[in-house]
Amino acid sequence: MEHAILAAIASPRRREILRLIWTHERAAGDIAAAMPDVTFGAVSLQLRALQKAGLVVCRPDQQNRFYRANRDALGPLGASLERMWTSALWRLKLAAELEASRRRGEAMAARIACSIGH
């Protein structure tokens, strides 16, 4: 499997985005709304990374962008992801990873604010 694909799905946030658009297309705003702990800009960056890896297809429609998973790009790994997404243990792991990611972001923001204030 190509390195870009493996790097793209290494992120729990990107795996969650793939899960959201796995079976049907969603607008970028809908994807961002499903992830209230991050900004729209952060979701947009994640979508761009997935698109660059060939895992997501974007369809522009006037001022909106609609995204769907390119399931064929993952080959047999797609079936593994589907099984993982139905697992309660995986959902708990994802929640923990996303919380840890959020806390790292808060800590970094606090360090930046502290360094600016001094």
Which CATH architecture fits 3-86? Orthogonal Bundle (1.10)
Mean predicted lDDT score pLDDT of the chain: 83
Least confident of 18-27, 80-89, 103-112: 103-112
pTM exceeds cut of 0.85: no
pLDDT given for residue 58 in this prediction: 95
| Helical axes 12-21 vs 40-52, angle rounded to 10° | 80
At 40-97, the pLDDT tens digits run 999 999 999 999 999 999 999 999 999 999 988 887 777 777 776 676 666 777 777 7
Q: Token pair for residue 4?
A: 């870009």
Closest CA to 5 of 44, 51, 57: 51
pLDDT given for residue 39 in this prediction: 92
Return the domain boundaries, the chain: 3-86
